[in-house]
Structure 1
Amino acid sequence: MSHHIARLAVGTLAVLGLLTACTGKTEGTGDTPAATNSSSAPNTSSGAPKVPSPLPTQKLIADPCTALGADEAADLGLKSPGSPSGQSPPGCDWQSTQFAGNVIGITPVTPNKNGLGDIYSNKAGYAYFEPTTIGSYPAVYGSTLGDDRSEGVCNAVVGVTDQLGVSISTSISTGKNHDDPCGAAGKVGEAMINHLKTAQ
């Protein structure tokens, strides 16, 4: 199990590493929650789409394990509650109820102050970069470390406000989702979005 969690951590860092480099910061301030209004247009020059309806993020940033409620986790086949990832920026990991080696991680990318704009600005550094929509919110499937999707690993970043992206990483070694890890990440993203909408 530790091998798979290590792979998950590496996958998350694939997204986070480039983001922290491009912002010129090595870690988040922790005391500045992402703004939830989108009156400014930070993503215009990067080509990233704006977030249509910014979500509340203060609880998510303060405790990433609140990204999914017990019901959402159960519907996804994940043990609840999740466990803090112990990484910087802080995230939370959930383990599969059926396959101990399958883990998903959710991390608010607080060092990145321009949401998906920073992803788009640095897309040339990604091994794969696929814009998508998750639960009607703009998102990107991508990794800076390589394309491990055939091994059950996928990384997605969902724009929940124009200032904050949330990384969702999957490490799926067994089961039907092994062959479609990005589909699994998308389902987790949808559940997270629905939870954020109702968990104010």
Structure 2
Amino acid sequence: MIRKSRPARTLVPIFIASLTLAACNQDPGALSVESTPPSSSISESATGATAGAIAVPNPVDATGISPCSFLSAGDAASLELPETGEPHEVWMSEACKWTDPDSGLNAIVYLDAEFSLADIYAQEDSFSIFEPRTIDGYPAVIANRVDSTTSCEVFLATTEEQIIVIDSTAARRDNLDACEWGAEIAGATLKNITE
């Protein structure tokens, strides 16, 4: 998470590159959250992100929701994560971390109420991977500073002023794209905060 009052720094807060855990086979049927490209109206709005906010249909204020409530036990299990996450901290912000030492999968999820999706678009040129998405009707961006899909971040706009960040790592999982997996975590998170 970036605080605007601080000097510029990377948006990617945590990469767990030192995981040396055993890999297991991915079950494609376990990940079923829909993730589709954004509509042209969102793309046009996002292109001019520095001039204004990106519209978010049916905004949901996630302030006050515990990040460990973002994924239900069933959702976490279907995503090959432990059913219960552990409280965590990212740049002094409350977060939740799910780590499976058997599969080498790691996900950290948190709310950034001081940074918007428009702010992410304003830094588009600094990313090697930058892919706008629409996840269940909400605008999002899949991004990474380096050209790698073993770790990734998904920025999901829940309102025009806040985003939920999913930092996903699939260490030693050649058959799993961390960016696509992160998008599915974002979809599951969105379901839980909008129901």
Q: Which among 65, 70, 73 is matched to residue 68 of structure 2?
A: 65
1:33-91: CA deviations, max 9, x gaps?
Answer: xxxxxxxxx9795176311111241333xx21111121221222211221122332221
Q: Which among 165, 183, 186 is matched to residue 183 of structure 2?
A: 186
**Structure with more helix by fraction:** 1
* 1:131–1:148 Cα change, 3 Å: same
Determine whether 1:104 maps to 2:107. Answer: yes
Query: Quick one: which amino acid aligns to residue 147 of structure 1?
Result: D
> What secondary structure sits across from 2:74 in the alignment?
helix
Determine whether 1:53 maps to 2:58. Answer: yes
- Identity, % of aligned pairs? 25
> What secondary structure sits across from 1:58 in the alignment?
coil
When normalised by structure 2's length, the TM-score is: 0.69
CA distance in 1 between counterparts of 2:135 and 2:101 reads 24
Match of 2:130 in 1: 129
For residue 181 of structure 1, report the CA deviation from its aligned partner. Answer: 1.4
Match of 2:20 in 1: none
Match of 1:36 in 2: none
> What secondary structure sits across from 2:84 in the alignment?
coil
Match of 1:5 in 2: none
For residue 116 of structure 1, report the CA deviation from its aligned partner. Answer: 0.4
Question: Which sections of structure 2, spanning at least 5 residues, go unmatched?
Answer: 8-44
Determine whether 1:83 maps to 2:86. Answer: yes
For residue 189 of structure 1, report the CA deviation from its aligned partner. Answer: 0.6
* 1:97–1:194 Cα change, 3 Å: farther
Question: Which sections of structure 1, spanning at least 5 residues, go unmatched?
Answer: 1-15, 27-41
CA distance in 1 between counterparts of 2:124 and 2:135 reads 19
**Structure with more strand by fraction:** 2
CA distance in 2 between counterparts of 1:159 and 1:97 reads 30
